[in-house]
Amino acid sequence: MNANYQPLFNPMTLGGNVQLRNRIVMAPMTNFSSNEDGTVTDAEVDYYVRRSGGVAMVITACTYVTRNGKGFPGEFGADRDEMIPSLARLASAIKDRGAKAVLQIFHGGGECPPDLVPDGDVVSASAVLSEQHDRAVPRPLADAEIESIIRDFGEATRRAIEAGYDGVEIHGANGYLIQQFFSPHSNRRDDRWGGDLERRLAFPLAVVDEVKRVAAEHANRPFLIGYRFSPEEQETPGITMDDTLRLVDALAEQQLDYLHVSLMEFWSKPRRGADDSKTRIQWIRERIAGRVPLIGVGSIHTAQEALEALQSGVELIALGREIIVEPDWVEKVWNGQEADIRTTLSAEDQHRLVVPDPLWQAIMHTPGWFPVVAAQSR
């Protein structure tokens, strides 16, 4: 190994007693490849196994905690106890390759396609149409329904524990239900769940409290709890960097094991709510002030890019699209073969990369999402 890249392989401990073998994480990415009933498929398991041999931790694709939270076709479920064997199969497959397995738990809220939820009943904090997908105006959740969904996050956590996962990641990012409650764009409520920023924090923090409570009650081994968030929204009104820094403050006091910022570009700068003299990551790190580890992500491809990102002060680096393009990324850097890391793919590469058909079709038919080239260099 090139000694310059040794920092990428320094082990670390999360949560006081979960040992990670290096600083590289597989980011959570939807793969559209589960069975209709919410169980994982053979192809999906193979896809994760192919990518679990080098990274320290695998964060799974988002997993719905209740049936009306299913946000994607081919998404796997954690909404009932019958899903535990399916969940356990995936956890075991990841852990057998030496990586820690973390289940990302999720409710799509107003971003759920009507045809994926019972009776097409799409719900959210308020009746605000998504500006990202012109699907349906969601129905505002009643107070009792909100309490029920909070409990559903707890029940999904219990199932993750019983299935053998090393932790859960609460998906509070990318415009889904938890973010919908925090956002002044999608949350127009005037009750205890909405209004000023403090009340818009109520639902995210209630989910955190419930997940922590269930983990304390049911986990008889070290069990991680992380939280993923998006730092800004493009809508007006919408989440600004200032809002996010206040969210980070609140989360950093919750004794979580890590925070995970969702970014398309690691070095991106704020739009509003903070000046652009610093990157979003720098503002967030400054506000965290060492209280909780931070995972950074966003268009990191090469070993040098990962090293520079790590040197920004984040504790862990997540690879998303790059770990699909190059499943052996970690191993190649470890073996001094970083020059051989692939950063593009071609239409002929599906079998070699062990990518399920639904995800492969999405990659091939979504221009600009992946670096697809006509022919892969050898």
Active site residues: 176
3-class secondary-structure state, position 176: coil
Are 261 and 229 contacting, i.e. CB atoms less than 8 angstroms apart? yes
Are 227 and 251 contacting, i.e. CB atoms less than 8 angstroms apart? yes
Cα 32 to the center of its chain, rounded Å: 15
Q: Where are the beta strands (DSSP E) in 155-264?
A: 167-172, 224-229, 258-261
Distances (CA, A) of 220 to 166, 193, 215, 217: 11, 33, 9, 8
Q: 330's torsion region: left (phi>0), alpha (psi -120 to 50) or beta?
A: alpha
**What is the rounded CA–CA span in Å between residue 13 and residue 53?**
19
Radius of gyration for the alpha carbons in the chain, expressed in angstroms and rounded: 20
For 25-49, letters b (16+ CB in 10 Å) and e give bbbbbbbbbbeeebbbbebbbebbb
**What is the rounded CA–CA span in Å between residue 167 and residue 187?**
29
172 forms bridges with which residues in the sheet? 229
Token pair for residue 131?
């500006």
Distances (CA, A) of 142 to 46, 127, 139, 169: 41, 12, 9, 25
Are 47 and 355 contacting, i.e. CB atoms less than 8 angstroms apart? yes
